[in-house]
């Protein structure tokens, strides 16, 4: 049971039951689409007539659309409904230390257009460059179906974010502290802007994106990229913590004598499992020194071709991911784990080492066998997380108490 927060609450009104029922209908359509009105009524255990007004309002608002009919044994063929996604769009921004990607993506996850630019070290310079790119994209979309359906801007960053203010509290890989990114972007775009840490955004994408994670409301999403972060979902809600910094398992030390992390501490999980760690392992061997380091994608490609040094580096990354996952499982006991990141393209090479370390470092059979899956959208998983920041509020349950 959830205790009512007497310092932060919202009173129920006469409209509250209708609002709750609307969100129930919307989420059932999202989860079981395409679905008929009769099937929807059966799942809610109500008469079909009781849903007429709600369904009509959802269609009028553009949240739901009718899409064909189903085969029926006899009588009229029922009309099917689904969530409207193709002409509802968001601008997704993925800020990374090397480059920042900006994409127009529809609510079904289709990338319509994409561009990128080098990420400046100074956050103010990043803000100026991003405002310019966004303003140009918005102006170009004006009057088009994609522009008319533009719902907002989602920005993911590799660091801790205060969701209430949209400020980047600390991003070690970027060297940022207390950056008011949301307000700077909202002031020139006129759109709703959401800023979030990459792992939490990716967890939201798993939780809310159409056709995903059906009935799974207790999981963690581990982002293994420039850094390592964890998005935690419990009972269908993202866990943020008292000061919005929950999930920073990447900066939990696995070895006090280990390599120095970007945060300044030694032996953090991130220092062992991030893309930089994989690249260092590959280039740091006695026979693998290079003037220009390859990318993780290139190392993965070579590992799949069975190049010894690349294979060794990637497999060790899998082992280090597994070590950290053991701590996550022991602390949170999730129903399942998703891993996103460039190295997951070599899942057939890293799954075994991950499972081996998870088994070795947890205490029960149930913990040993916690399901672990790669995010299948390796190329765009963070952009989809940014889209989820815009789309998710439309599906969220109303807060009362």
Confidence of residue 7 (pLDDT cuts 50, 70, 90): low
Of 150, 101, 106, residue with least CA distance to 130: 101
* Cut 0.85: pTM above it: yes
What pairs with residue 179 in β-bridges?
A: 168
The pLDDT assigned to 285 comes to 46
Which residue has better confidence, 13 or 327? Answer: 327
| Per-residue pLDDT reduced to its tens digit, 113-127 | 999 999 999 999 999
Q: What are the residue ranges of helices labelled H in 61-172?
A: 123-141, 145-148
Q: Of 80-84, 268-272, 333-337, which range is least confident?
A: 80-84
Confidence grade of residue 15 (pLDDT, cut at 50, 70, 90) = low
Q: Work out the average pLDDT over 102-107.
A: 93
Percent share of the chain, pLDDT over 70:
91
pLDDT of residue 272: 97
Q: Give the residue among 137, 138, 121, 120 at the shortest CA–CA distance from 129.
A: 120
Q: What is the pLDDT of residues 314-371, one digit of tens each?
A: 999 999 999 999 999 999 999 999 999 999 999 999 999 999 999 999 999 999 999 9
pLDDT tops 70 at residue 73: no
pLDDT at 3 over 70: no
How does residue 71 score in pLDDT terms, banded at 50, 70 and 90?
Answer: confident
What domains sit in the chain, N to C, each tagged with a CATH number? Answer: 16-83 (1.10.10.10), 89-205+384-394 (3.30.420.40), 211-376 (3.30.420.40)
Q: With bands split at pLDDT 50, 70 and 90, how would you rate the model's confidence at 149?
A: confident
Span 54-78, average pLDDT? 84
- CA 284 to chain centroid: 32
Least confident range from 79-88, 93-102, 196-205, 381-390: namely 79-88
Residue 157: how many other CB atoms lie within 10 Å: 27
pLDDT of residue 177: 94
> Mean pLDDT, the chain, as a whole number?
89
* CB neighbours of residue 334 within 10 Å: 22
Whether residue 248 is predicted with pLDDT greater than 70 in this model: the reply is yes
Cα 259 to Cα 82: distance, rounded to the nearest angstrom = 50
Show the CA angle centred on residue 357, arms to residues 351 and 358, nearest 5°: 85
The encoded tokens of residue 224 equal 């293994």
Q: In sequence order, which ranges of 173-274 are alpha helices (DSSP H)?
A: 181-189, 198-208, 269-273
């Amino acid at each position: 049971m959830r205790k009512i927060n007497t310092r932060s609450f919202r009173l129920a009104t006469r409209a509250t039951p209708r609002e709750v029922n609307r969100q129930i209908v919307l989420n059932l359509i999202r989860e079981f689409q395409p679905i008929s009105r009769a099937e929807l009524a059966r799942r809610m255990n109500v008469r079909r007539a009781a849903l007429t007004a709600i369904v009509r309002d959802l269609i009028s608002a553009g949240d739901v659309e009718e899409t064909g009919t189903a085969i029926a044994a006899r009588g009229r063929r029922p009309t099917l409904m689904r969530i409207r996604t193709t002409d509802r769009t968001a601008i997704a921004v993925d800020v990374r230390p090397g480059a920042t990607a900006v994409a127009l993506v529809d609510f079904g996850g289709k990338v319509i257009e994409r561009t990128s630019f080098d990420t400046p070290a100074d956050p103010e310079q990043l803000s100026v460059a991003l405002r310019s790119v966004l303003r140009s994209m918005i102006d170009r979309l004006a009057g088009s179906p994609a522009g008319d359906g533009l719902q907002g801007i989602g920005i993911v960053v590799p660091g801790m974010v205060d969701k209430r203010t949209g400020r980047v509290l600390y991003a070690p890989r970027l060297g940022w502290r207390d950056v008011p990114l949301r307000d700077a972007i909202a002031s020139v775009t006129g759109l709703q802007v959401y800023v979030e840490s990459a792992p939490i955004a990716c967890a939201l994408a798993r939780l809310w994106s159409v056709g995903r994670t059906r009935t799974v409301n207790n999981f963690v999403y581990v982002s293994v990229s420039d850094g390592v972060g964890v998005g935690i979902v419990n009972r269908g809600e993202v866990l943020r913590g008292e000061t919005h910094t929950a999930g920073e398992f990447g900066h939990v030390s696995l070895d006090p004598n280990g390599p120095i992390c970007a945060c300044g501490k030694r032996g953090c999980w991130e220092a062992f499992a991030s893309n930089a760690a994989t690249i260092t392992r590959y280039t740091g061997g006695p026979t693998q020194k290079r003037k220009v380091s390859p990318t993780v994608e290139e190392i993965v490609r070579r590992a799949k071709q069975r190049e010894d040094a690349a294979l060794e580096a990637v497999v060790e990354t899998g082992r280090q991911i597994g070590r950290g996952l053991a701590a996550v499982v022991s602390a949170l006991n999730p129903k399942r784990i998703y891993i996103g990141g460039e190295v997951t393209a070599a899942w057939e090479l890293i799954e075994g080492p991950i499972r081996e370390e998870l088994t070795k470092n947890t205490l029960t059979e149930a913990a040993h066998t916690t399901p672990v899956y790669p995010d299948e959208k390796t190329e765009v998983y963070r952009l989809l997380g940014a889209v989820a920041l815009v789309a998710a509020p439309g599906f969220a349950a109303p807060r009362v108490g």
